[in-house]
Structure 1
């Protein structure tokens, strides 16, 4: 029999994983806690068409591998992001096609000014959008993963390190390298304004 929702909701993630070994229905609490943010992360990487399936697959893989979860290596949240990131790597071709489409598509932003200002703003935004998409497409996989885990999933540097199983310092160095590359691609505009620094 599953723990009442009010009791299981107060249990920490690692305890829930362990309890789910003998009571699989307890795993649903983790699903309820993290599905929304995993879904948003996958949507940001691959778009809405595949997000439902890939987010669900993330939890299916986590459920199947729950006995191998090691709480000494980190928390459940980064573990789930690691699974999602690995699944995303399998869908890299789709992501590349999306970036190529993003590079070609005009922006929908319209200014409050007149028609001339609107056209100028759309052309400038489309140009920056295309340059950004091209730069993202050419980033090494590890650099792109760090950037998107920070920008889309809003993970801290420590959580990114746990997610990708890399040293904490590597997260910062990869993000700095990405910032320089994207800034250069965007003609000096800081691509991380408003982003988290961990």
Structure 2
């Protein structure tokens, strides 16, 4: 090796990218825990906002279990595993689509979010600050197609870029833009002209 030559960090070293860690986990499976440590909280937050904390716990576990099982297929040209993980999480969410849709409809009808019933203090504070807008937003979310809702919530809640959303959902970038544009138009129209 040439003196002074830069060496890419390897898994376990500060600065190792997700691809290096996932690659190393093929020989040393416990290394995959680093990917979990880096991204589990963010994936859980995204899922919890979609389906509530209890279901999010299970879906987060399922997401990382599926990622671990399929880590050999991970494209190690991609240094950031977030789009891959959010794609897995979103696919698992589709199993829960009916429950999710029913929750949004219940919130739109009653103003009481059944997914937040477990944490009374937080839900009271959220209702006070959000007011009637929560019902309007929930009604719009319930009216979106599942595909539009996925794109909107990956953008708004998971804070993924358009490109990352395209990767996560395995759809073209233009499709992300058009779905997000339709969802935003419907959301803005509902909030500018409430039906109440």
Shorter-chain TM range is: 0.7 to 0.9
Partner of 2:191: 186
Does 1:167 pair with 2:164?
A: no
1:99-129 CA distance string (max 9 Å, x none): 123211257216xxxxxxxxxxx8xx32x33
Q: Is the 8 A contact 1:74 1:162 kept in 2?
A: no
Displacement of 1:188: 4.5
Pick from 16, 24, 43 the counterpart of residue 11 of structure 1.
Answer: 16
Partner of 2:139: 134
The list of structure 1 runs, each at least 4 consecutive aligned residues, that deviate by more than 6 angstroms after superposition, is: none
Displacement of 1:6: 8.8
Pick from 67, 79, 86 the counterpart of residue 84 of structure 2.
Answer: 79
1:1-198 paired onto structure 2 within 5 Å:
7-72=12-77, 75-103=80-108, 104-105=110-111, 108-109=127-128, 125-126=131-132, 128-188=133-193
Count matched residues.
Answer: 171
Q: Is the 8 A contact 1:157 1:172 kept in 2?
A: yes
Q: Which runs of 5+ in 1 are unaligned?
A: 111-121, 190-198
**TM-score, length-normalised on structure 1?**
0.78
Displacement of 1:66: 0.5
Q: Is the 8 A contact 1:161 1:168 kept in 2?
A: yes
Q: Is the 8 A contact 1:8 1:29 kept in 2?
A: no
1:154-194 CA distance string (max 9 Å, x none): 111111111111122221221111111112222348xxxxx
C-alpha distance in 1 between matches for 2:170 and 2:153: 16
1:115-146 CA distance string (max 9 Å, x none): xxxxxxx8xx32x3323212211211111000
